[in-house]
A and B are shown apart, each in its own frame.
Chain A
Amino acid sequence: MMAEDHEHIQQYLKNQSPSAARALVEKYQNAVFTVCMRVLKERNIAEEAAQDSFLKAFRKLGALQVPGKIGGWLMKIAYTTAIDLKRKKNLLEHSGQLEDVDLPDNNNPETLAISRDKQAIVASVLNSMGATDATVLSLFYIDDLPVKEIANITGLSISNVKVKLMRGRKTIKERLKSFVNQDF
């Protein structure tokens, strides 16, 4: 996998090969787009940020020292690009705290019956979280990245990443409480 990435990078650097660029984009587009979605929350804007991230990355591809680490490097670029775009577009209304957005009322059996999809609840909670918290959770659970790498991508300290992970887990746990007794 890493050798494949290295080969595509060399091909792109040598003659700006569109097929090499496409291969790299297709491999990492979901991870990059997910980071942008966690920060920006809106698909159109996240897609714009993801595209900008790839363009920036390809311009700086020659400066990538460890080709095997292109995934983390791309996600770092995506995270900073998304944060910059968020600042520019003044989308700060979501940042900071968890908001009570259209989440099912766990005490109401009717609502509970309507929206039983736990994954939808988790996705909804992620969407209502602050940009950094949601990104940290996403990088840890979806991309299986170690805390150190997440700290590198987000620019946070390792202990801060751990705190955010814990906070995110607790939030998800609270939201899923009602399902526990049914499942166990």
Chain B
Amino acid sequence: MVHLAEEQIWSYITGEAKAEEVVHVESHIGKCKECEGLYKECLKAHQELQQLEHEVPSMRFSTNVVEALQDLAVLTLKPLKFPTFRYLLLASSLLVVGCSFYLFFEVDASGSQVLTDFVTRKNLQAIIINLLLVLLGVLGLLGLDRLLRKRFRERLN
């Protein structure tokens, strides 16, 4: 007697076998103990495989993904439109203006000339220089932001 091939038995179990093959397998299993044994082994494996379940990630998984998505959304926001040339021009103008003010007030700053009751030349110099430094700082941070976003997008792509 020619025994069934294991592939035939699997096709029969998974329902992929054609009608005539089903008849052949069923009649053969009915009269061949060896093939019946193989069929039982295959069926057992099939049943166990069917009971497999998905692996489950940690409880915080979905929260982590949503938070990461929100971070990503912030990082991929387009930076403020600010052409590089104008940006550099503005920054250097501010620097020049700042230096000019500093030098202007340094020329005759010895006397702490009173301009109003509260504002002396020295105070005015400090206020203007500080303001310009803050503006330069802001421009510097904007520039850094542009650079980092560009790098980040390059890495993402």
- Contact (Cβ within 8 A) A33 B57: yes
Cβ of A54 within 8 Å of any chain B Cβ, yes or no, is yes
Stretch at the interface among A104-112, A150-158, A164-172: A164-172
- Contact (Cβ within 8 A) B58 A22: no
* Residues of A within 8 A of B (CB-CB), count: 41
Chain B's interface size range is 20 to 34
- Contact (Cβ within 8 A) A172 B6: no
For the residues of B in contact with A, the DSSP-based class is helix
Residues on the A chain within 8 Å of B52, using CB: 119, 122-123, 126, 138, 141-142
Cβ of B53 within 8 Å of any chain A Cβ, yes or no, is yes
For the residues of A in contact with B, the DSSP-based class is helix
Ordered by A's residue number, 16 sampled pairs between the chains whose C-beta atoms are within 8 Å are A22-B62, A26-B62, A30-B57, A31-B54, A33-B54, A33-B55, A47-B61, A51-B68, A55-B65, A55-B68, A59-B156, A119-B51, A141-B49, A141-B52, A173-B41, A179-B44
Q: Which residues of A contact B (CB under 8 A)?
A: 16, 18, 21-22, 25-26, 29-31, 33-34, 37, 43, 46-47, 50-51, 54-55, 58-59, 118-119, 122-123, 126, 137-138, 141-142, 166, 169-170, 172-173, 176-177, 179-180, 183-184
